[in-house]
Chain A
Amino acid sequence: MNTKRLISAVAAGLAVAGLAFAGPAQAKVEGDTIILGSAISFTGKYSTNGIHAKNGYDIGVAKINSMGGVKVGGKSYKLKIQYYDDESTPLRTAQLLERLVNQDGVKYFLGPYSSATTKAAAPIIEKYKVPMIEAEGASRSLFNKGYKYLFAVLSTSEQYLASSIGLAAEIAEKNGKKPSEVKIAMAFENDPFSLDVRAGVLEDAKKYGMKVVIDDKMPRDLNDISSTLTKVKALKPDLLLLSGHSKGAATGARQIKEMKIDVPMIALTHCEAAKITTKFGASTNDFLCPTQWAPTLTYKDKYFGTAADYDKEFKKTFDGYKNVPYQSAQATASVLVWKDAFERANSLDPEKVRDAIAATDMETFYGGIKFAPEGNNIAKPMVLRQIQNGEYNVVAPSKWASHPVNWPRKAQ
């Protein structure tokens, strides 16, 4: 009995030792493969978008590998991603990143999904000085903390609705009015993301001297904004802005229809996520909806071709997509940045690669990518689409517009 116990104890000890040694063996570079790490949401409330992002990463990696991989120091490396499921909880994201760094030896990272989980990830990557290129955390609070190893390919949240202010000013001038005569009504949810969006709007409105006549904040469990909309009827603003994730878009679109709100220009975030065109039909026509990316944009690169080509290839690779979500496109773009940075650094040293990422200046199918010293992408604008007969068409900025903007909007 005792010998048996001894044997099992020794076996257990060996197993533990084996695990300890197995850790470093799964290091940042295995033979001719560079391992990128990502803790991302496969389960929990972010799982839908987490899986969109994973598909984006995977198609990017497959593309680069099929085109010969990454060339560093005269040698070709393949890319591979080591994933963990963070269960949509920021605490878990942080734990898993520690694990990726300490046990798996990963030195290069792709981001999780959502601003909340990215916020939890940032201090870890700073602590270990390992670079992360993220594609799904838009909150501007990620880029005012002085992080050196965090880079984001997407536009930050304060830009989401700011473009509609520029468009309103443009239209006012075209109609012989001063931009400062434009009256704005807005309602934003009381959460970090939506308040970021609001900050961006206020900044731009101030630039043009526009007057904010309604500035309501919506509660987290909002199911009614009719009192705000009654104010809109009374004050007749020129521009109505709403942002409160999918529920804000759904509640807003429903009550705008029900109360026949007649404002010449209405812009709201999360139109597609809330599926407002299928739910509320023609009443959503001429709504303006910001997006990070659209397949009709004329951006292109040497990997995927144009945005439309990417769209086609993505749908061919993954079943069940009617529209390619921008979450996938930006995830793919962040993989392209990794390849570009490795090759420019011509080294696998995390510090050198980090400096190469910081100096990135490239065109992709997802748009231009160039990082500010704070790590956010300043080369790609947020584009504004308008719902025209149930279709989302790009109307601003005018350089990328595929359709003219319909103005004024008529209540239907």
Chain B
Amino acid sequence: MWDNISILTAAPVFNIQLILDGLFIGSTFALAAYGLALVWGVMNVKNLAQGDFVIMGGYVAWWLGKQGIHPLWGLPVSIVVMFVFGWVVYVTIIRRVIDKDMFTSLLATFGLAIVLAQALNLMFGPEVQTAESDFAIRSYFDNSVTVADIKLVAFGLCGVLAVAVVLFMKNSRMGQAIRATAQDARAARVMGIDTDKVYAFTFSLNAAICGAAGALISMIWVIQPFYGIGHSIRSFVIVTAAGFGNLGGVIMAGLGLGVMEQYGGFVLGAEFQQACVVGLLVAVLIYRQLEMRRHRQVVQ
């Protein structure tokens, strides 16, 4: 471990590689986490199938790539496909559990996650897949730092999508309805908002956001039917750390998590890369617990 830290101090240029890789992948984590925050905040449904939606979106882009269509075109297709899929899932499953207690919705989405992973496995096989963009790869500092153009493009697209979602939530009628429902669903109903439609739209929007994140991940990382759980956990860590109403917090936590994974892998070894994510979740929960205890004492 100390050897690895000494590499970073002796040759700081490798920090740049780790930070860049972390930011690039972190941007897709943030995107998926924002979708989770939306569903959690508006509908109070904790979607355990979040990561599987991401992987499914990735398979859409990958499949199109295999048909000879550039996977970047897979991004809009994946958004549309996943939006429709999200609607179907809402109507068939989520609508029935939304007003039940928390465990019912947890179980329903957990079951959905298992079914999705198995379905993808049956359809596309258990092999690891990647969608090839065939973009150039640039190297800097005597090949010490390499940046694949597709990662830059993906980073930019994540930004564009985040801005688009924010503008949509601020300015459109549906966006306003979603925010109103999140504040107080009953009051929103009294004011004439069809909350069932709002829920359906929110859930579909989340699926579409996951689809976008997945399409980008298939181009910059790898996808496999059973990799969903890792992405679900990351989303939960980010949302728990940042809270749901807080887009800025989600973005910072997502990027931070990406960078932390890279440093964890470098310093402690690849086997601890994902352990870092879970470790962070524990740390955040302990911190939150302490904070709440303080708060309770003040109230008393």
Q: Which of A73-81, A253-261, A390-398 binds B? A: A253-261
- Considering only CB atoms, which chain A residue lies closest to B121 in the complex? A45
Give the Cβ gap from A291 to chain B, nearest Cβ, in Å: 19
CB-CB nearest 6 A-B residue pairs: A227-B265, A247-B128, A250-B128, A217-B271, A227-B266, A216-B270
A254 touches B266 (CB 8 A): no
Tell me, yes or no, whether B158 is within 8 Å of chain A by CB: no
Tell me, yes or no, whether A27 is within 8 Å of chain B by CB: no
Contacts of B129 in A (CB 8 A): 250
Give Cα distance in the complex from A221 to B224, angstroms: 9
Question: Quick one: given A247-B128, A251-B128, A260-B139, are A225 and B270 in contact (CB under 8 Å)?
Answer: yes
Question: What is the total number of residues of chain A having a CB less than 8 Å from a CB of chain B?
Answer: 35
Give Cα distance in the complex from A231 to B8, angstroms: 9
Question: Quick one: given A231-B4, A260-B146, A279-B130, are A223 and B224 in contact (CB under 8 Å)?
Answer: yes
Tell me, yes or no, whether B52 is within 8 Å of chain A by CB: no
A246 touches B270 (CB 8 A): no
Tell me, yes or no, whether B181 is within 8 Å of chain A by CB: no
Q: A221-B226, A223-B222 are in contact. List 5 more A-B contacts (CB 8 A).
A: A216-B265, A221-B230, A221-B274, A234-B11, A279-B130
- Considering only CB atoms, which chain A residue lies closest to B129 in the complex? A250
A250 touches B146 (CB 8 A): no
Contact indicator per residue, chain B 1-27, by CB within 8 Å of chain A (1) or not (0): 000100100010010011001000100
Contacts of A177 in B (CB 8 A): none
21 residue pairs from A and B, CB less than 8 Å apart: A187-B270, A219-B270, A219-B271, A223-B223, A223-B230, A224-B222, A225-B265, A226-B262, A226-B265, A227-B264, A228-B269, A230-B18, A231-B4, A233-B144, A234-B7, A234-B144, A247-B222, A247-B224, A250-B129, A259-B146, A274-B127
Tell me, yes or no, whether A222 is within 8 Å of chain B by CB: yes
Residues of A with Cβ closer than 8 Å to B?
45, 187, 190, 215-219, 221-228, 230-231, 233-235, 246-247, 250-251, 254, 257-260, 262, 274-275, 279, 411
Question: Quick one: given A230-B18, A260-B146, are A254 and B130 in contact (CB under 8 Å)?
Answer: yes
Contacts of A259 in B (CB 8 A): 146
Contacts of A223 in B (CB 8 A): 128, 221-224, 227, 230
Contacts of B224 in A (CB 8 A): 221, 223, 247
Contacts of B300 in A (CB 8 A): none
Give Cα distance in the complex from A233 to B14, angstroms: 9
Contacts of B222 in A (CB 8 A): 223-224, 247, 250-251, 254
A219 touches B143 (CB 8 A): no
Contacts of A45 in B (CB 8 A): 126
Give Cα distance in the complex from A219 to B261, angstroms: 13
Contacts of A247 in B (CB 8 A): 127-128, 222, 224
Contacts of B25 in A (CB 8 A): 224
- Considering only CB atoms, which chain A residue lies closest to B17 in the complex? A230
Give Cα distance in the complex from A250 to B223, angstroms: 10
- Considering only CB atoms, which chain B residue lies closest to A245 in the complex? B128
Tell me, yes or no, whether B148 is within 8 Å of chain A by CB: yes
Give Cα distance in the complex from A217 to B273, angstroms: 10
Give Cα distance in the complex from A230 to B21, angstroms: 10
B230 touches A279 (CB 8 A): no
Tell me, yes or no, whether B257 is within 8 Å of chain A by CB: no
Give the Cβ gap from B132 to chain A, nearest Cβ, in Å: 7
B143 touches A274 (CB 8 A): no
B229 touches A221 (CB 8 A): yes
Contacts of A279 in B (CB 8 A): 130, 132
Tell me, yes or no, whether B298 is within 8 Å of chain A by CB: no
- Considering only CB atoms, which chain A residue lies closest to B274 in the complex? A219
Contacts of B223 in A (CB 8 A): 223
